Structure 1
Amino acid sequence: MSADELSVVIVGGLHADARRAAVERLLAEAPGSVALHHDLSTAVGGTVRRTVRDRTGVTDTGETPLVNDCACCALREDLVPELERLAAGGLTRLAVVELWDSVEPKAMAEVVAASGLTVSSVITAVDPALVLPYLANGDDLAERGLAAAATDQRTVADTFARQLEYAPVLAVADSPEADDEDRALLAQLHPTARRVPIGSGHPGNPAGAPAPSAQSAPEAPARETTPAVDAATDAGAGAAAGPEAPRSPLLEAAFAGFDIEAAAAAQHPACALLPVEADECGVATLVWHGRRPFHPERLYAALEDLTCAAARSRGRFWLADRPDTLLHWDAAGGALCVEAAGPWLASLPDAAWELVPPVRRAAAALDWHPEHGDRCQHLVFTSPALDRDGLTRLLDYCLLTDAEYAAGREAWSRLPRPFDTFLEV
């Protein structure tokens, strides 16, 4: 079997029990499939432990040393050779890469694709009852034993948000603790995702998030045999028998195909596929637009209130004192990250537009304004009990007033620059 005949599906997520349930189901449904997992918790001893298993159990184990004191770097170095070995063996049609808790799928998908292997899907496994607790968890990964390197400064909340929003497929556990609000929150955070059920997944709490309920499902053996699994196995065997045989939703999603460039573009601040307005089961999403720039001092003073107003907020914005810089807003777990994401296209000379990816030009065209070009405020806030009116009033208050706007760019350039501390200018 050549590398282009091996399909690689990446399954990740901080909800470890849901992730394991999704992987076990794929192994049961796809005959001849294997799962690779690199356990980064062993990095304290200087190595990362690799496990390869199929539906019957572990078939191979090994260790790889850290690279530059980084467990995630070791994973990158070891993963592709293992996948190439499986492809050369000719016996594996589907390789399921089960990522360790805090490993983000974007980096791994790009590493696998760059090697010439086929990434057939990226799936994040989710327990709906744990979505809000994890989004609200501002703890550093290092505090929870989940850091991938000594320099890893990510938090539980921002890591979970990126895992959730990158994947086009969400494998959703049937959690007895989840209610309609939990499911509405998940749907609004990633409305374009394909959500496929994976049956029962016993809830876990590896990141130290507060448990949604004092009751939890009983512990089940890793290779649980249930009617659902039996049916899935039959469906998987049928899938192997011929192209016309039906596949389960999860197995179908695993072979659906994955576009690396489109996935990256969907996360880029300039052309991100942000959620739309919604209001259901006590969860709301506010999409706020503005055509004037923010007054930097007023916005800076409002940051704490804006960051804490929603479980998740993201988008792009512009400040009056730096009108040519596209700024990225990314908040979860009560913490905000503001980063410069390059220039607005309107600030570039015409000749430079040829160097800009088509998807970026298309996104700019959708926001184009006769005076400001693609400069705009586009922020999205999603949360239970969202105060839409209060949030809108606060955001509007942070924009330039009529008089400030009329003063023009020269006057704007003399405004205070409190965001220099964020942007390290």
Structure 2
Amino acid sequence: MPVLLLAAVDDVARRSAALGLLLDLPSVVVVTHDLVVGHDGGGAVRRTITDRSGVLAEETTPLDHACLACAVREDLLPTLQMLLNLDRWSTVAVSLPLTAAPEPVAYEIGRAIGDGSLQGAVLASVVSLVDLATFEADLLGDELLDERGLAFGDYDRRSVGEAVAAQVEFADDVVTVDRASAAAETLLAHLVAPTSRLHVGWDSVAADHLVGVRHDTETARRRMDPLQVQPSSCRDEHGIWTVELSAHQPLDPGRLLRHVEALGSGRVRARGHFWLASRPDVACVWDGSGGQLAIGHLGPWRQRRPGSRIVVTGSDPDDRRRIVDTFSRVLTTAADLSTAWASQLVDDGFTPWLGPLPTRTADRETVEDPSPRPSTD
């Protein structure tokens, strides 16, 4: 039996998609989950099961923590197996809690199918539902989820843009529940991966298509891999632009630290990887949206050639000019490398994000000549 995953930030979009499926597919059952956060930090998952005849069941299950992983492990997988065993429907649609990232849920369902703990199911399309009327403000604005009452507890400090990006960029199919401005449609098209499908308006996608798709775990993993980020193939128009910041020389840690706000702020969505001169053997992640920026440790380059590639999408031409100019400023130069300063650093300033500097060895290879200029097109 195909299992669809539906992810949304807006409840109207989520309800519209569920209703569309109930109207279009004669034998579908919709399982809707909502996380309820308690005052003590605990929580519960509220589950509603619906088909064409109406609401079949509503139940609230306590959780130790109001987190998505707990909800999947303790409620979703057993519920799916129960519905499969009943054998009353041809399709199960799982409507995830608002703002939930679909990636870990898809992984857990795929793992359960693979190891036999969830029998009789195949994972169909992972669908991101988008309200185009608010999409630009949601993605590029600086509002936090807790300011909308959508956070999964006090620990959830994500911006609305982070939640939207995680849903759109992972999905097999991205479906808008309305039509809006050409700028909003173009912005969404710039974010959708080349291996995903964009449908503008629910009437532009057949429900049978969503059921017939099979989620490919490896393809989805590549879509989210910072080392495999690719720029959009869409044209820059209606005020929407995408630039690729790439270079074969490392970034200077001191200058990057001084200019990180200029490079990482603004009404932009940015994701990719970078190479820091003080950590030549380590690939680092760059991920930002809605005024938030995450910098992290990806691990060794292994067989991959070190370098930086950050894809940035935005709507303000001033942001574009500032980011492109700043990226050029933070690149190392031949003079930087000739001083061998990197081998003498005790702290490059990125310890809070990347951990302590690795131990340097005398026979470490020098970083390559930074003669190629960065690409920003």
Give the TM interval when normalised to the shorter protein: 0.7 to 0.9
* 2:167 aligned with 1:163: yes
SS in 2 for 1:52: strand
One of 85, 90, 107 as aligned partner of 2:82: 85
Aligned to 1:113: 110
Corresponding residue number in structure 2 for 1:33: 28
**Do 1:140 and 1:153's aligned partners in 2 also have CA atoms closer than 8 Å?**
yes
* Structure 2 residue 182 is matched with structure 1 residue 180: yes
Aligned equivalents of 2:288, 2:330: Cα separation in 1: 18
Deviation at 1:139, TM superposition (A): 3.6
Structure 2 unmatched runs, 5+: 114-120, 357-377
Call closer, same or farther: CA 1:179–1:198 in 2, change over 3 Å.
closer
Cα distance, 1:132 vs structure 2? 1.4
1:140 aligned onto 2:137: no
- Name the aligned partner's letter for residue 336 of structure 2: E
Match of 1:353? none
Match of 1:194 in 2: 197
Tell me whether 1:313 sits opposite 2:317 in the alignment.
no
Q: Is the partner of 1:103 in helix, strand or coil?
A: coil
Aligned partners of 1:313 and 1:382 also within 8 Å:
yes
1:56 deviation in Å? 3.2
Q: Report the equivalent of 1:57.
A: 54
Tell me the residue number matched to 2:350.
Answer: 419
CA 1:342 to 1:57, structure 2 compared with 1: closer, same or farther past 3 Å? Answer: same
Structure 2 CA distance, aligned partners of 1:12 and 1:382? Answer: 22
Return the offset for 1:69.
5.1
Could you tell me how far 1:143 is from its partner in structure 2? 3.5
2:258 pairs with 1:301: yes
1:46 CA displacement = 4.1
Contact 1:313 1:329 in 2 (8 A): yes
Q: Is the 8 A contact 1:24 1:55 kept in 2?
A: no
Given that 2:34 and 2:97 are in contact with CA atoms closer than 8 Å, whether structure 1 keeps it comes out as: yes
In the TM superposition, what is the alpha-carbon distance from 1:26 to its structure 2 partner? 1.3
Residues 74 and 115 from structure 1, CA distance in 2 versus in 1: closer, same or farther, beyond 3 angstroms?
Answer: same
Asked whether the 8 Å contact 1:310–1:386 carries over to 2, the reply is no
Task: Decide whether aligned partners of structure 1 residues 273 and 77 sit closer, same or farther in structure 2, where only a CA change above 3 A counts.
Answer: farther
CA contact (8 A) 2:263 2:322 kept: no
Amino acid in structure 2 at the alignment position of 1:113: G
Aligned to 1:128: 132
Task: Say which SS state the counterpart of residue 154 (structure 1) adopts.
Answer: coil
CA distance in 2, matches of 1:394, 1:380: 14
RMSD across aligned positions (CA): 2.2
Q: SS at 1:413's partner residue?
A: helix
Alignment of 1:369-380 (within 5 A): 374-380=305-311
Report the residue type matching 1:187 in the other structure: A
Tell me, in whole angstroms, the C-alpha distance in 1 between the residues paired with 2:96 and 2:201: 17
Q: Which amino acid aligns with 1:418?
A: G
- Offset, 1:150: 4.2
Conservation of the 8 A alpha-carbon contact between 1:277 and 1:286: no
Q: Does 1:331 align with 2:288?
A: yes
Instruction: Give the TM-score of the pair, scaled to structure 2.
Output: 0.85
Identity of aligned residues (%): 31
Distance 1:59 1:21, change over 3 A: same
CA distance in 1, matches of 2:103, 2:68: 16
Q: How far apart are the structure 2 equivalents of 1:13 and 1:382?
A: 21
Q: Distance in 2 between matches of 1:310 and 1:289?
A: 20
1:315 positional shift: 0.7
**Paired letter, 1:260:** T
Cα distance in structure 1, aligned partners of 2:286 and 2:68: 29
2:17 alignment partner in structure 1 = 22
Q: CA deviation at 1:293?
A: 0.5
Q: State the aligned residue count.
A: 344
* 1:271 Cα deviation from its structure 2 partner: 2.3
Query: Aligned-pair distance for 1:304?
Result: 1.0
**Which letter does structure 2 place at the counterpart of 1:394?**
T
Name the amino acid aligned to 2:84: A
Query: Which residue in the other structure is 2:221 paired with?
Result: 264
Alignment of 1:394 with 2:329, yes or no, is no
TM-score by length of 1: 0.75
Name 1:103's counterpart in structure 2.
100
Q: CA deviation at 1:317?
A: 0.4
The C-alpha deviation readout for 1:379-399, integer Å capped at 9, x for no partner, is: 111011334444322211111
Paired position in structure 2 for 1:342? 299
User: CA-to-partner distance for each residue in 1:122-154, whole Å, 9 max, x for gaps?
Assistant: 000001221211123434333432222443232
What letter corresponds to residue 320 of structure 1 in structure 2? A
SS at match of 1:40: strand
For residues 413 and 277 of structure 1, the distance between their equivalents in structure 2, rounded to whole angstroms, comes to 42
Name the CA distance, whole Å, in 1 between partners of 2:49 and 2:349: 51
User: Against the structure 1 CA distance between its residues 277 and 174, is the aligned structure 2 distance closer, same or farther, given a 3 Å change threshold?
Assistant: closer
